Structure 1
Amino acid sequence: MRPIESLQTLERMCHISALSGHEEDMITFMKGEMARYLPECRVDRLGNVIGCKPGADPEGPRVMLFAHADELGFMVRKIEPDGFIRITRVGGIPEKSLPAQRLILRGSRGDVWGVIGPKSHHLTPAEEKFKVVEIKDLFVDVGAHSKAEAEAMGLFPGTPVTYHGFFREMPGGQVAGKALDNRVGCFVLLQVLRLLAEKEIPATVYYVATVQEEFNIRGAQTAAFAINPDLAIGIDGAVSCDTPDLKPESDIHFGGGPVIGHYTFHGRGTLNGLIPNPKLRQYITDVAARLTMPVQHSVFLGGLVDTSYVAVVREGIPSVDMAFPMRYSHSPIEVASLPDIEQLIVLLATAVEGIAAGLDLSRG
């Protein structure tokens, strides 16, 4: 079977709005996709979609393979008397990229299209032309002429807001889209499930689409507590540093293969990160070597993902981050490399298929 049969699933996901805490459409989508292959699929109280494929060995390990289904975005905080909308951030939004961006406001009466209004260039003073406007000073134009008109559209403080959906294949085997972080991760999860669905493998595998990763990493913790896996593998994006502005930062690049995380540390606010279980990390590295597949190794300061918290659930869960290289992280349009995504699917499917009772992940 090919690692990717079609990009239609990924394209559909890039047009879904699923702000952290408001992931209903992605929950429905992921549950429907998982149910095509799994005898058991449920949604927990927080919104995590959890599918289970029982292993052939009753004594085999329990594996949690997961990717977050939510996306960063905004929330309406105030409606001005003249109908313009003030918003605040949900997640690590880069304010420098916001003016003139198209948004979807998920009102109680349906989706509302809006645009973040930039100050007219002709009337922008010279001293303002090269400054980043803070989000507190930005506003969204939804076509309302008054607060009452905006409210009649179903808008209110607390309305979830996301970037406008987008997806496009690019030359050179690349794809561009809204929220590739982490729609690609969910896509990889589904493709691994498809490849392994008809195979009898030793391990019992839990395929999990988590919620609220972009909001301080909530869903993965409750899912891991409920599943209590013997090991966990998280799927997310890794910052690709092959663009002119980032080349000094690291060697992660398009075409270099899947990324294995060695170290992440947020370093600001949430002081958390992950140093993976060394034996689990080495196991995946060895699988890649047997496949003669190139892999990249990431040491990243300035971010963290679900796995950082999963690793410390209960008595501790041996965990590792796996990623696809991605450009322009957290911006309205992100870009990823299809060959790297395909290799990540193959690597994860092969690694999960080979996990058995004899896999030693002990320390000391």
Structure 2
Amino acid sequence: MSGAALSGEARGRLKTLLCELMLIPGLSGYEGRVRRHLAGRLQALGLATRTDRLGNLIATLDGTPGAPSVMLFTHMDQLGFIVRKIEPDGFLRFERLGGVPERALASQEVLICVGEGRDRPGVIANKSHHATTPEEKYRVVPYQDLYIDAGFASAGEAATAGVDVGSPVVYRPHWVELSPDRVAGTAIDDRAGCAVIVEAARQLMTTGTRPTLHFVFSVQEEFNLRGALTAAQVLQPDIAIQLDLLLATDTPDMGYRGDVRLGGGPAMSMYSFHGRGTLNGTIPHPALVALFDRSAKALDVPLQRSAHTGALTDSSYVQLVGQGVASIDLGFPMRYSHSSLEVCDLGDLERLTMLLVEGIGRIDAGFSLDRDDYE
């Protein structure tokens, strides 16, 4: 089933909300604008929202008594930079916040976030080609040696504009339609997951059978996976379903890593392990693997599988809350992760929504989380 074969109101809503969210800056630790936009969307559906002290946005939809409770969550923050120093001549030095690839930084447009209507554009400087030595032409410049040019002539001018040490900076928010079903944009990781949860919530509100659901849009995922853990400690769910990108491996540089194809449908992570400093990851609970396998077959929706080292999600920590939370990572294939323009397929987002609604609707009072029923 190709991405072009699906269409309808759900896909239109997903695209509209995704594109809205990609234009809203929300650096990890500074997610307020994104949170308020999402809260407005949920409240328009009739869902009451609350925000915890760390900044997570939470909405609860009551369901069948006795059924395992479900936390359906994704992160709303994005990676970026923090102003580290303002030079006397007005140039800005910065720190990376999150897994920002240094080799993709020079000449990138950025936005310095000082307040709605007052944000300042800038560009990460790239040394003039005509002054570059042969040795420099093929060297990745460490971010500590880079700086942002925001048009300031002095440190005082930067201060007058509201820029200070600690000001958040993100890739310039924008998006572009590559084809009717393919979108490139900033922070598709994980504004696409946010759009899917809002659409899933819309549909789940009208289903006759469902468990109690906690919709959580978490903060500081890009800053060492912090927000969702706090939410889970309070909500104490029985099941955690996490949405995020899954690495598309259909480009020339990624084929050796797996068989996840953009436009090939939603994907289920069978194994994740960071392996670089943070020795953590997720192996999904077998009850949830079986649940979503059955749901995909019932819908005749393809469900791709992913297993990779080098990335991890909030579920790595959420699964360890209380007596243990049955957890799984579901997601959408995405190309070019953590770059200034990531790429996803709207058909994958639509099918992921369908899969969630079908699967969650099958969780009733008789749904077993006993591993011996599956292993």
Segment drifting more, 280-289 vs 198-207: 198-207
Separation in 1 of the partners of 2:137 and 2:277?
30
**Matches of residues 264-303 of structure 1 in structure 2 within 5 Å?**
264-303=272-311
Separation in 2 of the partners of 1:59 and 1:38?
24
Aligned 8 A contact 1:42 1:49 in 2? yes
**Matches of residues 1-364 of structure 1 in structure 2 within 5 Å?**
2-6=9-13, 7-55=15-63, 57-107=64-114, 110-171=118-179, 173-364=181-372
Separation in 1 of the partners of 2:45 and 2:236?
22
SS at 1:352 equivalent: helix
SS at 2:45 equivalent: coil
Segment drifting more, 215-224 vs 105-114: 105-114
- The letter of the residue matching 2:67 is G
State the TM-score, normalizing by the size of structure 1: 0.97
- The letter of the residue matching 2:94 is I
What residue number does 2:5 align with? none
Separation in 2 of the partners of 1:346 and 1:52?
20
Give the unaligned 5+ runs of structure 1: none
Separation in 2 of the partners of 1:154 and 1:193?
38
- The letter of the residue matching 1:71 is Q
Segment drifting more, 214-223 vs 106-115: 106-115
Q: Deviations over 1:262-282 (max 9, x none)?
A: 110000111110011111111
Aligned 8 A contact 1:101 1:116 in 2? yes
- 1:198, distance to aligned residue in structure 2 (A): 2.3
Q: Deviations over 1:52-88 (max 9, x none)?
A: 1111x22222111011000000000011111100011
Q: Percent identity?
A: 44
Separation in 1 of the partners of 2:10 and 2:360?
15
Q: Deviations over 1:312-331 (max 9, x none)?
A: 11111000000100000000
Q: CA RMSD in A?
A: 1.3
SS at 1:320 equivalent: strand
State the TM-score, normalizing by the size of structure 2: 0.94
Segment drifting more, 5-14 vs 41-50: 5-14
Separation in 2 of the partners of 1:350 and 1:320?
16
Separation in 1 of the partners of 2:45 and 2:180?
32
Separation in 1 of the partners of 2:48 and 2:60?
6
Q: Deviations over 1:217-244 (max 9, x none)?
A: 1110011111111101000001111111
Q: Deviations over 1:129-153 (max 9, x none)?
A: 1111110000000111111111111
Q: Give the length in aligned residue pairs.
A: 363
- 1:172, distance to aligned residue in structure 2 (A): 5.8
SS at 2:306 equivalent: strand
SS at 2:135 equivalent: helix
- 1:94, distance to aligned residue in structure 2 (A): 0.6
Separation in 2 of the partners of 1:310 and 1:177?
28
Aligned 8 A contact 1:108 1:155 in 2? no
Separation in 2 of the partners of 1:58 and 1:23?
34
Q: Deviations over 1:283-325 (max 9, x none)?
A: 1111111112111111010010111111111111000000100
